[in-house]
Amino acid sequence: MKHMAAATLRAQLNRFRPQLGDLVTSIVVAVYLLLFLNATFWSKAGLYLKNDPSAYAALWVAIFALFAIGTVAVSIKYIIKPVLILYIAVATAAAWFTDTYGVFVDTDMVRNAFETTKAESQDLLTPGLIKHFALYFFLPTAFLTWIRIVHQPFGRKIRQNAITIFVCFLVFVSLGAAFYKPYSAVVRTKRDLIKTLNPITPLVSTTKYILGASQEIIISVKPVGGDAKIDARADGSTKPRVAIIVVGETARAANFSLDSYARETNPELARQDVIYFSNVSSCGTATDVSLPCMFSNLKRSGYDHKTGLENENVLDVLVRAGVDVTWMENNTGSKGVADRVRNVIITGSSDSRFCKDGDCKDEIFLEKIDEWLNGITKDSVLVLHQLGNHGPAYYERYPDAFRKFIPDCRTTELSRCKDSEIVNAYDNAILYTDFILSKIVERLKARTVTLSTGFLYVSDHGESLGENNLYLHGTPYFMAPDEQTRVPLIAWFDRQFASSMGLNLDCLKKSATMPLSHDNLFSSLLGMMNVTTKAYERDLDMFAACRGALAALPGS
């Protein structure tokens, strides 16, 4: 009886469920994707085709035809609802980040999403994102789940779908051919347009990432610098030589007062006699690209994710030569760079003085550095991977004592803040990094009796803070603004360390405006540590021109 009652109830409820044919449902979803989840695409298309309104109008029809192909192709019983819901979910998520931050969901951005930490992902779960999903995902998918989709008999469905897809394909191709000239010009010169098309671009990018990740499982790493060894010191000194390399996070050169920024964001470093290099470009616009690229010898022009994983990096070469190497991690991981060296994970520490909800302020490094320096017995390199200015939670990156620039944006939902408030929070985080870096230099200065000490800081990439309506980073490099690709690079050496590598510091100061990039890091680190190998390229060693007798000549 209970089963009969339940069946009767379901039958009565089904009477109130609206019915839509499978073809109509597919078309409705295509229209929804077209009209509601592609605001950035249509905004850019309108701008790029403003002189050809016919091409712009035809583009609406062509893209609708393309979407209809994708929705009609999956209009199969038991498959149609899950796949259409997936389309809407992907488009909804991509639309939020594209429309709100100007971020493109390409393969590198998908990799960032898959490899992000819990704390980082929580920063992005804002009230605005939840409202966006409630409106553009939960409401339409609730309706899609509720309705009854009426399917044609299988044979008729095949014919119906095939005809619809063929007609849509014909429309798409015909309009593409009719307006080939304006469309081809836009695609070639404005490649950002296609990267905003939802859900096609994020689905393609995710597929590429998954296929690439499956291939990476069987990668074997090729040795680099098999002949590496530590060369004799230029001055014959015997004290252990130590270098601390700090990899900054999301620090752009434009907001460093050492770079002539109007605000004093580097007061402590300015007192440390550091050398600031003002013309440095990054390998990428996201950590997942820049971090492994800068430590490799592949250079930006030859780097891709798979090739990077297939080859050892400069840390491996240093270890092979006999240098002790340690990596300390306070970010989202080394991205494979430190896989074969000593790795100290600070991220997620329970030290309540510096850490909260999985994120630790970079001041936690200082005590760790003291412990590391106490144990030095040979030439050593310590790499610190900062949390730095990781956004959008800039205000979480510095303690209240560093709230110099106010009012500062106190939320991860940047749309709720004025651009000036976002910049204030960002600059406060730079100010805190200045404090951390200065304290590191002071620790090195305090050890010069027993150690020869050197220091190098370089950021992985920059950040957009509202310029051209862009926020955060990750813009494809070919179109990335200067704010995302020009990064700060800072060096400091005590006299003993400089003389041990034959480096003329006055010469180096004079050359601080020379154009550099992450391509220079591999050979420069080898040069710093007096490591010789065939993998070393003197032309890419940023210190080479100021090493040796010629560097001491006037005007050199």
| pLDDT tens-place string over residues 395-443 | 999 999 999 999 999 998 898 999 999 999 999 999 999 999 999 999 9
User: Digits of tens for pLDDT over the chain (556 positions)?
Assistant: 555 655 665 555 566 688 899 999 999 999 999 999 999 999 999 999 999 999 999 999 999 999 999 999 999 989 999 999 999 999 999 999 899 888 888 887 787 777 776 676 777 788 899 999 999 999 999 999 999 999 988 889 899 999 999 999 999 999 999 998 898 888 877 878 988 999 999 999 888 888 777 666 667 899 999 999 999 988 888 999 999 999 999 999 999 999 999 999 999 999 999 999 999 999 999 999 999 999 999 999 999 988 998 999 999 999 999 999 999 999 989 999 999 999 999 988 889 999 988 889 999 999 999 999 999 999 999 999 999 999 899 999 999 999 999 999 999 889 899 999 999 999 999 999 999 999 999 999 999 999 999 999 999 999 999 998 899 999 889 889 999 999 999 999 999 999 999 999 999 999 999 999 999 999 999 999 999 999 999 999 999 999 974 454 433 3
Query: Rounded to an integer, what distance in angstroms lies between the CA atom of residue 368 and that of residue 372?
Result: 6
Query: Rounded to an integer, what distance in angstroms lies between the CA atom of residue 465 and that of residue 469?
Result: 8
pLDDT, tens digit (0-9, with 9 covering 90-100), for 116-127: 766 767 777 888
β-strands 342-345, 324-329: how paired?
parallel
User: What 3-state class would DSSP assign to 120?
Assistant: helix
Q: Which amino acid is at 397?
A: R
Query: Rounded to an integer, what distance in angstroms lies between the CA atom of residue 376 and that of residue 453?
Result: 11
Neighbours of 254 (CB within 10 A): 17
Q: 42: Cβ–Cβ under 8 A, 6 or more apart, which residues?
A: none
Instruction: Tell me the two tokens of residue 124.
Output: 């992005």
Q: What is the pLDDT of residue 488?
A: 98
What class has domain 229-552? alpha beta
Q: What is the pLDDT of residue 552?
A: 46
Query: Rounded to an integer, what distance in angstroms lies between the CA atom of residue 533 and that of residue 232?
Result: 13
DSSP class of residue 553 equals: S
pTM metric for this prediction: 0.84
Quickly tell me which residue has 């701008």 as its tokens: 47
Q: What is the pLDDT of residue 230?
A: 95
Are 295 and 314 spatial neighbours (Cβ–Cβ below 8 Å)? yes
* Domains of the chain by residue range: 2-215, 229-552
Quickly tell me which residue has 């106190």 as its tokens: 410
Dihedral of the CA atoms 75, 77, 79, 83 (nearest 10)? 40
pLDDT, tens digit (0-9, with 9 covering 90-100), for 130-162: 999 999 999 999 999 999 999 988 889 899 999
- Strands of the sheet containing 452-459, edge to edge, are 275-277, 489-493, 452-459, 241-248, 380-385, 324-329, 342-345
Query: Rounded to an integer, what distance in angstroms lies between the CA atom of residue 138 and that of residue 88?
Result: 9
Query: Rounded to an integer, what distance in angstroms lies between the CA atom of residue 272 and that of residue 491?
Result: 10
Instruction: Tell me the two tokens of residue 39.
Output: 């605001």
Task: State the greatest distance between any 2 C-alpha atoms of the chain, in Å, as a whole number.
Answer: 103
Query: Rounded to an integer, what distance in angstroms lies between the CA atom of residue 536 and that of residue 526?
Result: 7
Q: What is the pLDDT of residue 550?
A: 45
Instruction: Tell me the two tokens of residue 98.
Output: 């594209």
Dihedral of the CA atoms 90, 92, 94, 96 (nearest 10)? -160
β-strands 452-459, 241-248: how paired?
parallel
Q: Which amino acid is at 435?
A: F
Q: In sequence order, what are the beta bridge partners of 531?
A: 230
Instruction: Tell me the two tokens of residue 161.
Output: 């779908």
Q: What's 375-404 look like in SS3? A: CCCCCEEEEEECCCCCCCCHHHHCCHHHCC
Query: Rounded to an integer, what distance in angstroms lies between the CA atom of residue 330 and that of residue 385?
Result: 6
Q: 159: Cβ–Cβ under 8 A, 6 or more apart, which residues?
A: none
Q: What is the DSSP string of 475-516?
A: --GGG--HHHHB--EEEEE-HHHHHHTTB-HHHHHHTTTS-E
